[in-house]
Amino acid sequence: MFARSIAQGSRHSVLVTHPMSDGAMSRLQTFFDVETRVEDHVPSGDELVGWLWGKAGVIADTRFVFDAQLVRRLPVLKAICNLDADHHNLDLEALTTAGIRATSTPASVCLSLEAQADQVLQLLTVLFRLAVPPTGGDGRYRGKWSRRVLLDEPVHMRSVGVIGAGALADTLVMRAQLAQFGLVDRNAEEERFWGTADVVICIATGVTPPVRLTAAHMAWMKPEARVLNLAGPDLLAADVLRDPVLMARILSREILTAGKAAAPDQLLLNRTQVAAEDLIASLGFGRNSWHPKHLLNPDILCESCC
């Protein structure tokens, strides 16, 4: 029984093997002790057992195989939440026999890299249209940023700078070019890069921010320019965190996704948030306690009501 495998009154320990959104991580930390292991390589069976020893739940993707042999070595594990829509990595019969709930993320939430990049550009376009065109011989913006949705106004967004490496950053650059956004050369000298961009998008590589954003960086920027932080709270240096004026110029993914009129609902969903809620429910917490929405093995009995 689950109650016997976890000490009475203690917080369950869970493992996360993928970068999570700030909102998803905050939700998990409300209920659990969360360990993060984001690695480029796929762990061997023995290594994965070591990672999961004493863990009640895990958020993983299809790189991680949970078969009958592995499951027998993990007596405490009670929930596996796949970030992918596919679940060929899960032996559902073995998991059900072991009393382990398994979930997967709906395909509509598992956005491709192209869709993720388009989401960022689309939401920026709709939420931050500049109603006043830029004027002046120096080429600097005279427009004002607004959250009003002005669908009949042209978008005057001249230059986008992307900081970060990896597939999402490269895809975002490509999609921005197709959408006819101006792009700042990522190899330009630092002062020119920050001084030219109207929006600087920062993307983490794994769990590591691409830079540490300081007040000096933002001093180079145009007064109307903004930073879109997709790299998490570690991006921001202390002098930025202390300055409310600078903080007002930094946008996050959560702020963007607040604009529900900007895109279809499925584009506003984050697969890490879905997996986090499934894990919370699978371990007996939250509004859907014991009944995660995306359960793959419904024959499993809950220990509280079935």
The two counts, helices (H) then strands (E), for the chain are: 13, 10
DSSP state of 163: E
9: left (phi over 0), alpha (psi -120 to 50) or beta: left
Amino acid 88: pLDDT? 93
Amino acid 111: pLDDT? 65
Report the run of H or E that residue 149 belongs to, with start and end: none
For residue 37, give the 3-state DSSP assignment.
Answer: coil
Please list, in sequence order, all residues whose beta carbon lies within 8 angstroms of the beta carbon of residue 13, skipping any fewer than 6 positions away: 32, 33, 34, 35, 54, 55, 56
Using CA atoms, how far residue 206 sits from 67, 179, 231, in Å, is: 27, 26, 9
Amino acid 113: pLDDT? 65
Q: What distance, in Å, lies between the first and last C-alpha atoms of the chain? A: 14
Kindly give the residue spans of alpha helices, DSSP state H, lying in 208-258. Answer: 215-220, 238-241, 244-247, 253-256
Please list, in sequence order, all residues whose beta carbon lies within 8 angstroms of the beta carbon of residue 116, skipping any fewer than 6 positions away: 168, 171
The answer to whether the predicted template modeling score (pTM) of the entire model surpasses 0.75 is no
Which residue ranges of the chain lie beneath pLDDT 70? 1-9, 108, 111-114, 123, 126-158, 205-208, 253-270, 302-306
Amino acid 205: pLDDT? 64
Amino acid 207: pLDDT? 58
Using CA atoms, how far residue 52 sits from 68, 69, 77, 235, 300, in Å, is: 15, 14, 8, 29, 21
**How many angstroms separate the CA atoms of 54 and 15, rounded?**
10
**How many angstroms separate the CA atoms of 171 and 134, rounded?**
28
Amino acid 2: pLDDT? 44
Residue carrying the six token digits 């997709």: 230
**How many angstroms separate the CA atoms of 230 and 233, rounded?**
9
Residue carrying the six token digits 């409310």: 244
Residue carrying the six token digits 């939700």: 27
Name the residue type at position 18: H
Amino acid 70: pLDDT? 96
